[in-house]
């Protein structure tokens, strides 16, 4: 999974990137470099299984974070940001909003940035339609007409100033559009970057932005990027202490990743064995057969059954004999819908 951090210049993108990705990039500069980092998805369940089993290796799921570069001349107008193709390939956008500086206008900034995404998609679709129409004229090829009509409807939607995220499409309509990677169609996590002394008011602040939140589309998180970026450099013990003092329940990286998973409809299942304990990311609704394929195509091909234990039962009962005695190991077939936190042993035969 790839998450792209975007936002206005000096909104704290790099600061938040440092906080969520545990990096130490220079902040307050206008460097053109895209920062990137592969981040382990924090998973207390995986840690607990590793404690129980002492496997040789522990493999977390990972997420790639991209931090948008500083701006060149073009971007001097408010809200403009540079976005490369790489940002189009992200699964969701993390929009960092300045809510820390005096005179900050977070609501206005959010709408400026959303407008920008809409504009970028508009330009892209204009180009596609023009090319398609020219081709139809030249070759008489009518196969793409249905898609052209769909793109036209997208354009009308964008013309009303609305992001494609809110454009209701059937799965069949969605399919041909996916490849275009429209920016305004990507799930959006808004990160309000607040000042150090505003931390006690985060709940109230989150509530006043509540109207922006809609399940699996848009969500909001309040963080103080500056403090969070400093926390990253501390040892566990010291960090815990600071967080308690500041009233920070979970580090920004956990909160941001958790919300991104929810936005994208993702869950994790776990496998544990002699060589390694491993967390795997899948979409909600994935059946056991496909989940097996996430590990290896051989396991998918030779699938016999899945032996499933809910994490909470592992946590409570700790050993397989105890789990079996309590009747908590379920034998499931190909069509079993995998649940978040399932610990699965796949039986297969090739
Ligand atoms: N007081 C305060 N300053 C911040 C915070 N986040 C970022 N800044 C400052 O804002 C400036 C720009 O930050 P940076 O992360 O480089 O912004 P970017 O241009 O969006 O990447 C730097 O001087 C940061 O120290 C914050 O939460 N509180
Ligand atoms: Mg930056």
Residues 90-119 have pLDDT tens digits of: 999 999 999 999 999 999 999 999 999 999
Express each pLDDT in 250-265 by its tens digit: 999 999 999 999 999 9
Q: Whose CA is nearest to atom 14 of ligand 1?
A: 12
How far is CA 174 from each of CA 3, 109, 135, 167, 178, rounded to the nearest angstrom? Answer: 21, 29, 23, 10, 6
Residue 78's pLDDT band, with cuts at 50, 70 and 90, is very low
- Residue 231 DSSP class: H
Q: Does the CB atom of residue 224 touch ligand 1 within 6 A?
A: yes
Say what the pLDDT of residue 70 is. 66
Of 156-165, 202-211, 228-237, the range with the lowest mean pLDDT is 202-211
C-alpha 197/C-alpha 160 separation (Å) is 39
The model carries a pTM of: 0.91
**Residue of 20, 27, 98 with the most ligand 1 atoms within 8 Å of its CB, for mutation:** 27
Q: Whose CA is nearest to atom 26 of ligand 1?
A: 226
Say what the pLDDT of residue 85 is. 77
* Closest of 335, 337, 266, 279 to residue 311, by C-alpha: 279
Say what the pLDDT of residue 74 is. 46
Residue 273's pLDDT band, with cuts at 50, 70 and 90, is confident
**Residue of 6, 10, 201 with the most ligand 1 atoms within 8 Å of its CB, for mutation:** 10
45: its two tokens:
């369940």
* Closest of 252, 187, 193 to residue 219, by C-alpha: 187
Q: Does the CB atom of residue 18 touch ligand 1 within 6 A?
A: no
Q: Does the CB atom of residue 9 touch ligand 1 within 6 A?
A: yes
102: its two tokens:
């005096």
Distance in Å, CA 84 to ligand 2 centroid: 15
Say what the pLDDT of residue 344 is. 97
* Closest of 22, 27, 23, 25 to residue 11, by C-alpha: 27
C-alpha 90/C-alpha 63 separation (Å) is 11
Distance in Å, CA 192 to ligand 1 centroid: 12
Residue 324's pLDDT band, with cuts at 50, 70 and 90, is very high
Express each pLDDT in 172-202 by its tens digit: 888 889 899 999 999 999 999 999 988 878 8
Ligand 1, residue 16: give the atom nearest the CA: 15
Residue 326 has pLDDT above 60, yes or no: yes
Contacts of 92 (CB under 8 A, 6+ apart): 1, 3, 4, 186, 187, 188, 189, 260, 263, 264
Ligand 1, residue 28: give the atom nearest the CA: 16
Sign of CA dihedral 15, 43, 297, 54: positive
Segment 52-80 mean pLDDT: 75
Distance in Å, CA 191 to ligand 2 centroid: 15
Segment 135-164 mean pLDDT: 91
Distance in Å, CA 247 to ligand 2 centroid: 27
* Closest of 100, 302, 266, 112 to residue 195, by C-alpha: 100
**Residue of 225, 232, 248 with the most ligand 1 atoms within 8 Å of its CB, for mutation:** 225
Q: Does the CB atom of residue 251 touch ligand 1 within 6 A?
A: no
Segment 221-226 mean pLDDT: 94
Ligand 1, residue 9: give the atom nearest the CA: 19
Instruction: Calculate what percentage of the chain has a pLDDT beyond 90.
Output: 76
């Amino acid at each position: 999974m790839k998450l792209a951090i975007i936002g206005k210049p000096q909104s704290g993108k790099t600061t938040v990137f440092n906080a969520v990705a545990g990096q130490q990039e220079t902040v307050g500069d206008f460097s053109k470099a895209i920062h990137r980092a592969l981040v382990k998805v924090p998973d207390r369940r995986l840690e607990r299984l590793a404690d129980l089993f002492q496997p040789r290796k522990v493999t977390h799921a990972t997420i790639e974070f991209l931090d948008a570069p500083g701006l060149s001349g073009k971007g001097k107008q408010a809200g403009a940001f540079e976005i490369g193709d790489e940002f189009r390939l992200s699964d969701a956008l993390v929009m960092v909003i300045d809510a820390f500086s005096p005179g900050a206008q977070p609501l206005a900034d959010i709408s400026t940035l959303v407008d920008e995404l809409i504009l970028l998609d508009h330009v892209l679709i204009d180009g596609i339609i023009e090319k398609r129409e020219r081709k139809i004229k030249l070759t008489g090829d009518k196969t793409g007409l249905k898609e052209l009509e769909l793109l036209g409807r997208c354009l009308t939607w964008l013309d009303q100033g609305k992001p494609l995220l809110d454009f209701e499409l059937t799965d069949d309509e969605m399919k041909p559009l996916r490849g275009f990677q429209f920016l305004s169609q990507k799930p959006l996590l808004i990160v309000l970057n607040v000042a150090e002394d505003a931390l006690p008011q985060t709940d109230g602040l989150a509530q006043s932005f509540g109207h922006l939140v809609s399940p699996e589309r848009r969500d909001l998180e309040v963080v103080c990027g500056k403090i969070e970026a400093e926390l990253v450099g501390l040892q566990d013990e010291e960090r815990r202490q600071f967080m308690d003092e500041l009233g920070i329940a979970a580090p920004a990286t956990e909160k941001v990743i958790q919300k991104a998973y929810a936005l994208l409809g993702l869950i994790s299942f776990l496998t544990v064995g002699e060589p390694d304990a491993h967390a795997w990311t899948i979409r909600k609704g994935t059946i056991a057969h496909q989940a097996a394929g996430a590990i290896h195509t051989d396991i998918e091909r030779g699938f016999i059954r899945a032996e499933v234990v809910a994490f909470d039962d592992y946590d409570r009962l700790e050993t397989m004999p105890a789990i079996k005695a309590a009747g908590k190991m379920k034998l499931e077939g190909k069509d079993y819908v995998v649940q978040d936190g399932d610990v699965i042993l796949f039986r297969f035969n090739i």
